[in-house]
Chains A and B, each alone.
Chain A
Amino acid sequence: MPLLDVHELTTHFHTREGVVRAVNGVSFRVEPGETIGIVGESGSGKTVASLSLLGLIPSPPGRIEKGTAVFDGVDLLACGAQTLRSIRGRAISMIFQDPMTALNPFMRIGDQLMEPLRVHEGVSRREARAQAAEMLRLVGIQDGARNLDAWPHEFSGGMRQRVMIAMALITRPHLLIADEPTTALDVTIQAQILELLARLQRELGMAVILITHDLGVVARVCRRLYVMYAGQVMESASTDELFARPQHPYTEALLQSLPSTHVKGEPLHTIPGLPPDLIAPIAGCPFAPRCAKATDRCGRGTPALQEIAPGRATACFRVQDGEL
C-alpha cells in the first residue's frame, strides 16, 4: 500500500485577472521508504502541488478544487486544519529552497530545532535540547551543543540548509517533501547535502518527494519520476526508463536541450515558444503549441495520463495510439 496516494489534485487561484489553473488533475504515489522526483520548469505547478498537500496554499486566492491525497489512511485534503497540523511537521516534513527565508532570523538555531519536538511531542526542554544537538551531529554539524546558541546569520548557506534538514527530520517523519533543497547551493555543497539526505533516508527509513528542475539531481537520487508541465503530469516512469527512453515529446525535448547532451559547438536543441499562460483556458494538450510532433488531434481534448507499460504512463495521444 502506498504511503501517499494523490489522486486528481486540482488547485486553482482565483485572482482579479482570472482563474490561474496552477495544478490540474495531478496524480502520483509514494511507496514507504522510496524517493520519487517531481520535475518541471518554473510555473509547472510542482511547488503548488506539494504545498496543497500540506494545506499551505494561501486561501484566498488559492483553492483546492478537487482531488484526494491519502496519507496513512487519512485524506490530507479533507481531514481539516487541526488533523493536518498534527501531521505536518511530525509525520510529514518539508524543506524549502531558500534556507535564509525559511529560518526565523530572530530565533537561535537551537530554539528553532526544538520547536517541533516541543509542539508535537511535548518533550521537556532539556530532552529537546539533547535531541537537537544529536540531530545537528547527524547532519554533519560538529560541536552541536555550542551551535545551538548560534543565530541563522552566523551560518553559511550550506550550514543553514543542514539546519533546515535537521529541523525537518527531528520528529523522524515518514515522508519528507524537499522542494529544490539544493538549488541555492554550490555544486560541491549540493553533493554533500544530497549524500546526507540519502544517508538519513536509509537510517530513518523515510520516503522522500524531491521537487526540482534539475535533471542531473533526480538522475542521481530518485527511483521514479513524474514530469510536470503547465499543471499536469506529462509522463511518469522509473528514472532509468525515463532517461533511456523518454516517451512524451516534452520529456524528450527537455532532455535534448541540456548542454551536456551535446557535442561542443553544435547548436543546442531548443523548445520553441513559451509555456502557456495558465489564466487562459487551455484547449487540448498544453504542450501542443510547442510540440514538434503535434497533429490536429492534439488541440482537441486534453490527454489523460495513461499507463502504456507496467510502471510507465504518458499523457500524449500519439504515444497512447502507438504513433510515436
Chain B
Amino acid sequence: MTRPLLELRALRVHFPVYSGLIRRRLAGTVRAVDGVSLDVAPGETVGLVGESGCGKSTLARAVVRLVPCTGGTVSFEGREISAMREPAFRALRPRLQLIFQDPYASLNPRMTVFDALAEPLRVHGLADGRDVRRRVSDLMELVGLAPRFMRKYPHEFSGGQRQRIAIARALALEPRLVIADEPVSALDVSVQAQILNLIARLREQMGLTLLFIAHDLSVVHYLSHRIAVMYLGRLVELGPASEVFYRPRHPYTRALISAIPVPDPVKEKTRQRVALHDEPASALNPPSGCAFRPRCPWAEPRCAEIVPPLESCGEGHQAACIRLEDI
C-alpha cells in the first residue's frame, strides 16, 4: 500500500481562553480539535463534514500551520511538518494549498487578477519576466476565465468568478494537496454547480489530492471518495462516501443526514427525521463521555462514562459510538 500523502495522528488544537481585563487569568480551554487521526491517500478526495464550531476549519488551518498544534502530529509526503523548522516547511508549502470559503475576503481588493496570480509565482521563484504573463494567462484559462480580464480587480467579478480566481491562485504553484474549506458555500446553486464541476475537472487533470471541507453533505458526497464526520473536535464517523451517506452508523451522522432538506416534496412528506434535543455543547466545556450524548436520542447512562473510540463497523467504515450494535 502506498504511503498516505497526508497523515494526521491524534491531532490536537487547544486554545486558551482568558478572562479579566487587567489581571488576565486562564478561564478554560477550547478543545477545537481534540485527537483527530486521519489519512489521505495520494489522489484521494476526503470530505470533512460537521456543523459550525466542530473544529473542521481549525483542523485545516493546523495542517498548514496557520494555527499551532498543541498535540499529535501532521505528516505530509511522509515527513512530519508539525515539528519542522520554518525554512523547511516553507520549502514544501507550495505543494500544500488552501482555498477559503469567502472569495470576497480571501482576495486582496487592491490587487488585480494578474498581481494576485503572479505573486505566488514570483515569491517561490517559479517564473519571471515575460514568463509570468504567460503563466497567469494559462492559469486563467485553466479555471475558465478569459485572460483579457487579467488587469481587472476582484470587485469587478461575480462571486463565482472570484472563487475561480482563488482556485487559480491556489493552483499556481502546482500543489499536490489542496485543502478546500467550504469553497462553494457562499455561492448560488447554479454557480455552485459550475465551481464543483471545475474542481472535479482540475482534480482529474492535475492529479490533485483533496481535503474537502463543507457542511453540506450532499455536496461532499458528490465529490468525495471518503467522508469523515466531525463533532465537537473529534471524528465520530469515517468511511466510503456512499456508505456514510446512505448507511450512516453514528447517531449524529444519522441526524445530520435526516435533517438535510431534500429538494423533493414527495420524499420530504414521508421521510423520518432523527429528532435531536438541545443544541451542540460548547467546545469550551464539553460534556463527559461522548460529546454528542446530550442531544442523542439513543443515549444511555453508560455514554457519560467513556469517550467512545472509532471502531470498525464495515469495510473501511468506522464509527465512534458504544451503542453501534443496538441501534
Chain A residues with a Cβ under 8 A of chain B? 41-42, 156-159, 186-192, 194, 213-217, 219-220, 239-240, 243-244, 253-255, 257-262, 264, 267-271, 274
Chain A residues with CB below 8 A from B264, complex form:
219, 243
Q: Which of B196, B263, B265, B273 has the most CB of A within 10 A?
A: B265
Give A188 to B217 CA distance when docked, in angstroms: 12
Is the pair B268, A219 in contact by a Cβ cutoff of 8 Å?
Answer: yes
B193 at the interface (CB under 8 A from A): yes
Residues of B within 8 A of A (CB): 51-52, 158-160, 188-194, 196-197, 200, 215, 217-219, 221-222, 241-242, 255-256, 258-266, 268, 273, 276, 279-280, 295
Q: How far is the CB of B325 from chain A (nearest CB, A)?
A: 24
Look across to chain A and name the residue whose beta carbon is closest to the beta carbon of B54.
A186
Contact (Cβ within 8 A) B261 A216: yes
Is A187 a contact of B263 with CB atoms below 8 Å? no
Which of chain B's residues have a CB closer than 8 A to the CB of A267?
Answer: 197, 200
Contact B263 A264 (CB under 8 A): no
Given contacts A240-B266, A264-B222, contact A41 B189 (CB under 8 A): yes
Q: Judge whether A257 and B262 touch: CB under 8 Å.
A: no
The answer to whether A188 and B262 touch across the interface, beta carbons within 8 angstroms, is no
Cα–Cα distance between A301 and B90 once the two chains are bound (Å):
59
B197 touches A187 (CB 8 A): no
- Known contacts A243-B265, A259-B219; is A187 also within 8 Å of B188 by CB? no
B262 touches A213 (CB 8 A): no
Contact B265 A240 (CB under 8 A): yes
Question: In the bound complex, do residue A260 and residue B218 qualify as a contact, i.e. CB atoms below 8 Å apart?
Answer: yes
Closest partner residue, chain B, to A44 (CB atom): B188
| CB-based contact A260/B266 at 8 Å | no
A253 near B190: Cβ-Cβ < 8 Å = yes
Contact for B189 among A254, A262, A264, CB less than 8 A: A254
Q: Given contacts A187-B260, A188-B256, A219-B263, is CB(A213)–CB(B188) below 8 Å?
A: yes
Whole-angstrom distance between the Cβ of A23 and the nearest chain B Cβ:
18
Can you list 30 A-B pairs with a CB-CB distance of less than 8 A?
A: A42-B188, A156-B279, A159-B279, A186-B215, A187-B217, A187-B261, A188-B256, A188-B295, A190-B261, A191-B273, A192-B276, A194-B261, A213-B188, A216-B261, A219-B262, A220-B262, A220-B268, A244-B266, A258-B193, A259-B193, A259-B222, A260-B222, A261-B263, A262-B222, A264-B221, A264-B241, A264-B242, A268-B193, A270-B190, A271-B190
Q: Are A186 and B51 in contact (CB under 8 A)?
A: yes
Do A215 and B51 touch across chains, with their CB atoms under 8 A apart? no
Contacts A159-B279, A217-B261 supplied; 5 other A-B pairs, CB < 8 Å: A188-B276, A219-B262, A255-B263, A260-B262, A274-B158
Given A41-B190, A219-B264, A255-B263; A189-B279 close (CB under 8 Å):
yes
Q: Is the CB of B255 within 8 A of A188?
A: yes
**Cβ of A258 and Cβ of B242 under 8 Å apart?**
no
> In the complex the two chains form, what is the Cα distance from A217 to B196 in whole Å?
21
In the assembled complex, which residues on chain B have CB atoms less than 8 Å from the CB atom of A269? Answer: 193
Measured in the bound complex, the distance between the Cα atoms of B158 and A261 in whole Å is 26
Distance between Cα atoms of A191 and B262 in the complex (Å): 12
Known: A159-B279, A267-B200. A257 touches B259 (CB 8 A): no
* A186 to B, closest residue via Cβ: B51
A80 to B133, CA, bound (A): 59
Minimal beta-carbon separation of A293 from chain B (angstroms):
16
Q: Which residues of A contact B295 (CB under 8 A)?
A: 188
Taking a contact as CB atoms under 8 Å apart, the answer to whether B193 and A257 are in contact is: yes
Q: B189–A257 contact, CB under 8 A?
A: yes
Q: Which residues of A contact B200 (CB under 8 A)?
A: 267
In the bound complex, residues from chain B placing their C-beta under 8 Å from that of A215 are 189, 263
Q: Which residues of A contact B194 (CB under 8 A)?
A: 270
Contact A187 B259 (CB under 8 A): yes
Question: What is the bound-complex CA distance between A262 and B223, given in angstroms?
Answer: 11
Q: Which one of B158, B217, B256, B263 lies within 8 Å of A258 (CB-CB)? A: B263
* Contact yes or no, A190 B262, CB < 8 A: no
> B188 contacts which of A41, A188, A259, A264 (Cβ < 8 Å)?
A41
Nearest B residue to A261, CB-CB? B263
In whole angstroms, what is the CA distance A164 to B109 when docked?
Answer: 34
Contact (Cβ within 8 A) A243 B188: no
In angstroms, Cα B189 to Cα A253, docked, is 10
Select B256's contact among A187, A244, A260, A262, beta carbons within 8 Å: A187
B13 CB, nearest partner CB in chain A, Å: 21
Q: Which chain B residues lie closer than 8 Å to A243 at the CB level? A: 263-266
Q: Is the CB of B260 within 8 A of A216?
A: yes
Whether A213 pairs with B259 at a CB distance below 8 angstroms is no
Q: Which residues of A contact B190 (CB under 8 A)?
A: 41, 253-254, 257, 270-271
Most buried by B among A188, A194, A264: A188
User: Is B51 a contact partner of A187 (Cβ separation < 8 A)?
Assistant: yes
Chain B contacts for A253, CB-based, 8 A: 190
B256 contacts across to A, CB distance below 8 A: 187-188
